[in-house]
Structure 1
Amino acid sequence: MSTKTIERSFPKITEEGLDALRERIGVKIGVTAEPWCYEATRDNIRHYAHGIGDDNPLWCVPEYAQKTRFGDVIALPSFLFTTSRIISGYVGGLPGIHAMWSGSDWNWHKTVNRNDTITTEAWLKDLVVHNTKFAGRAVQQTYHVDFFNQKGELVADADSWCFRTERDHAREQGTKYKDVKARQLRRYTDRELADAYRLYAEEKIRGAEPRYWQDVKEGEALPTMLKGPMTVTGFIAYAQGWGGLYIRANKLAWKLADAHPGLGIKNRFGIPDCPERVHWEEEFALEVGAPGAYDYGPERASWLTHHLTNWMGDDGILRNATCKIRRHNPEGDILFIKAKVKRKYVENGRHLVEIEQEARNQTDELSILGTGLVELPSRG
């Protein structure tokens, strides 16, 4: 692993900056960067699904979806990440302070149908100061976003949060990834890869076969889902469907950097480039204290919901899902998502199943914690 970095110093978190940011709490946010997707078109839905490795025909194959109760393809729940830069980690305030997307709490109220147009309302919800192993003092910055369709109906609402960290402290004094950075480059054997890929070969999409609430047992395990091995190619595939936060080219890249001078960070050529390149440029990832180029946070939240939608089938409805990120997934990691049914109950006529999820890497290090609340069809 290369450890060559550019010598420089980054801005610090200040009390003045925090006070200014606190004044924004509860204030609706006006026009920011436009979303990657305004509409849930067939292609936009499919591109996002493929960006997380999800080939469910309910989102991807109109000929299949036309035979379901929906009559056409619908958007997978996590597609809404493409319709709001804010839910995806576009934070305000504290210029020059690194932002790491760290979790979300989603509620879905209505299906997003093909060609629905999505608009949003958002505001800063809370600021909490923490002391972390990764970067010492860090600020948890939480936003709330409401999502509406073209009829003005609320289709979903969500909170998401980023941790704002000092890049110098994370690189020089952070202890979380000390052991990871000291490791020798891992090379997988063909046998190790074959054992992992068996999970892809056996991955089952429940699809048209209903999973009835009566057939679910508390404590039962969901099938393990594989994600990875992590590659920069995979991270870019996600960005293609999701749109990224700051990925721009040529004139549009210049316009963004010109409007937000603190955004562009010079690369090895002296050219200001976006901080998002931590996801594909190992050298810069090491500068901010990460263990190497790593996956996206919303990508990981979408893997958890993919796990749930595979299990619940076409007639299930995902009502709520949470994601809490516990570590980076750097290039070379393999992730195993596991889950079990915590409880099942009936509320307001809905037959609900609460699910607990966790994902660990190839060395059993905890990467993600999640929960899901699924409404299932009931016999009779």
Structure 2
Amino acid sequence: MTTAEKAGADTEIYEFLESDIQRARDIVGIYHGVTQREQFSRATPDFIRNFARSYGDDNPLFVDEDYARDTRWGGQIAPPMFNIALRKELLTDPMPREHRRPAFRGIHVFVSGSTTDWYRPVYDGDTIYAFHGFEKVELKESEFAGRSLFVTRIHVQFNQRAEVVQAQRVLTIHTERHESKKRKKYDAIEAASYTPEDIAAIDELYAAEKLRGAEPRYWEDVEVGDSLGNMVKGPLTATDMMVFHSGGYGFAPYTPCSGRLAYKNRQRIGAFYIPNEQGVPDVAQRIHWDSEYARSIGLPAAYDYGMMRDCWLTHYLTDWIGDEGWIESMSSQMRKFNYLGDTHYFTGNVVGKRVEGDRYLVDLEFRGTSQRGEVTCPATATVSLPSRAAGLAVLPTAPAEWERIAAQLLKRHGELRAEKRRSAQA
């Protein structure tokens, strides 16, 4: 994207390169195995537990091995959004240069929304791989940052048996880094503050939250208009952001690190490192915990990750559906920033119920609303529930074409791994 210039007090200005925009358009519909690992590559009891806890979820189905063995799943399963922290790299043939993603050097990227479909649970011992690509690219004018590139990416996750477990479409917005600072849209937003009484009121909401757990929620007992209950998240702190990172999110592809590793990373992606107020190169990713840096690019404070609120939204759903329910799909939007200090209140309702084949489905609308009264993350979902008449909730079937691609990628992965072993032994 970027031509970098000097402006004022050595402020770098990054703008889109037309060649990068065209490259993004050219690779729509071309999918490749993901060759970069996430922080974790194999599901273990510790990973599953720590990931759930990183966004505040204490559901025993995710955090208690002994409890989970007695559920319909027969063991501990990963929370729905596992994919943001769990993936092993695939060995693949070299990607043609014309298929590579544009660099978008210096351009700020944030997640606007996502749609996720789930097909199978992830268990202890599962290794997760993925293939991905661009599905859609649009150049637009954004009220936040002027010229922006809207990119829809698809990420298909599959296990070591080539079974597709999940597919996620993510809408990301790429913005020119100098434009957002010029705009004054967010100047009127003030940081939240709380009295002891305010915190006590939030604590009462936490204490009243209901986890359905082992008590089945049957399809026949659900009616259109039913409330999904209440959940609260926040007030958001920098500690929350660090704990979320501890669950494994945020390390790929930029690989924030320290010491000698940070030095090496600066040689690899120097534009990702922007000097802080002390002149020390630090990751642009600190916009999620460093309010001084956020203010320097035109925002009132640091803000969360869109994926963090997706975790919150699925937490709200899994608390409601209980151990025997299954989230088939969820679509969410990130319409507003969630700043440090903000509190979110989650509410929702049943908007439909139907039977498709042997699946007893319920359609939901829900949302997170900030203390300002702004709905920042509206969402919809379809869940499969157990039926008093038909028994256990039935899971959907993944597209056969995706599983064919997964099998081909795993086959080639094994061939290349064998070639590496033979070369090492020669």
TM-score, length basis structure 1: 0.92
Question: Displacement, 1:365?
Answer: 1.3
Residue pairs, 1:256-267, within 5 angstroms = 256-267=265-276
Q: Contact 1:138–1:166 at 8 Å: present in 2 too?
A: yes
Task: Name the counterpart of 1:195.
Answer: 201
Q: How many residues align?
A: 368
Task: Name the counterpart of 1:231.
Answer: 237
Counterpart selection for 2:130 from 120, 124, 135: 120
Task: Name the counterpart of 1:271.
Answer: 280
Task: Name the counterpart of 2:13.
Answer: 10
Give yes or no for the alignment of 1:133 onto 2:143: yes
Counterpart selection for 1:145 from 155, 179, 182: 155
Listed one character per residue, the Cα deviations across residues 285-321 of structure 1 (whole Å, up to 9, x for unaligned) are 1223332111111111110011000000000011101
Give yes or no for the alignment of 1:205 onto 2:211: yes
Question: Displacement, 1:130?
Answer: 2.0
Counterparts of 1:312 and 1:36, CA distance in 2: 29
Question: Displacement, 1:92?
Answer: 5.0
- Supply the AA of the counterpart residue of 2:68: A
Task: Name the counterpart of 1:81.
Answer: 84
| Range that drifts further, 127-136 or 41-50 | 127-136
Unaligned segments of structure 2, at least 5 residues: 1-7, 90-100, 390-426
**Secondary structure at 2:171's aligned position in 1?**
strand
- Supply the AA of the counterpart residue of 1:54: D
- Supply the AA of the counterpart residue of 1:263: F
Q: Contact 1:26–1:125 at 8 Å: present in 2 too?
A: yes
Counterparts of 2:34 and 2:80, CA distance in 1: 24
Q: Contact 1:46–1:59 at 8 Å: present in 2 too?
A: yes
Question: Displacement, 1:257?
Answer: 2.2
| Range that drifts further, 209-218 or 366-375 | 366-375
Task: Name the counterpart of 1:37.
Answer: 40
Q: Contact 1:346–1:352 at 8 Å: present in 2 too?
A: yes
Counterparts of 2:88 and 2:298, CA distance in 1: 24
**Secondary structure at 2:81's aligned position in 1?**
helix
Counterparts of 2:35 and 2:276, CA distance in 1: 25
Question: Displacement, 1:17?
Answer: 2.3
**Structure 1 residues 142, 15: CA separation in 2 closer, same or farther (over 3 Å shift)?**
same
Counterpart selection for 1:105 from 115, 121, 139: 115
**Secondary structure at 1:358's aligned position in 2?**
strand
Q: Contact 1:290–1:328 at 8 Å: present in 2 too?
A: no
| Range that drifts further, 77-86 or 269-278 | 77-86
Give yes or no for the alignment of 1:302 onto 2:294: no
Listed one character per residue, the Cα deviations across residues 314-336 of structure 1 (whole Å, up to 9, x for unaligned) are 00011101110011111111100
**Structure 1 residues 92, 300: CA separation in 2 closer, same or farther (over 3 Å shift)?**
farther
Counterpart selection for 1:71 from 74, 92, 102: 74
Counterparts of 2:32 and 2:268, CA distance in 1: 17
| Range that drifts further, 97-106 or 187-196 | 187-196
Listed one character per residue, the Cα deviations across residues 350-369 of structure 1 (whole Å, up to 9, x for unaligned) are 00001011111112012111
Q: Contact 2:64–2:76 at 8 Å: present in 1 too?
A: yes
Q: Percent identity at matched positions? A: 36
Listed one character per residue, the Cα deviations across residues 54-83 of structure 1 (whole Å, up to 9, x for unaligned) are 000000011211111222211011112112
Counterpart selection for 1:368 from 371, 377, 393: 377
Question: Displacement, 1:233?
Answer: 0.4
Counterparts of 1:330 and 1:179, CA distance in 2: 14
Unaligned segments of structure 1, at least 5 residues: none
Task: Name the counterpart of 1:52.
Answer: 55
Q: Contact 1:39–1:116 at 8 Å: present in 2 too?
A: yes
Counterparts of 1:358 and 1:144, CA distance in 2: 23
Task: Name the counterpart of 2:326.
Answer: 317
Q: Please provide the CA RMSD for this pair.
A: 1.9
Listed one character per residue, the Cα deviations across residues 118-151 of structure 1 (whole Å, up to 9, x for unaligned) are 0011112221122222111211112111111111
Q: Contact 2:88–2:129 at 8 Å: present in 1 too?
A: no
Give yes or no for the alignment of 1:282 onto 2:285: no
Counterparts of 1:301 and 1:171, CA distance in 2: 27
Counterparts of 1:274 and 1:25, CA distance in 2: 29
Question: Displacement, 1:38?
Answer: 0.9
| Range that drifts further, 235-244 or 17-26 | 17-26
Q: Contact 2:140–2:150 at 8 Å: present in 1 too?
A: yes
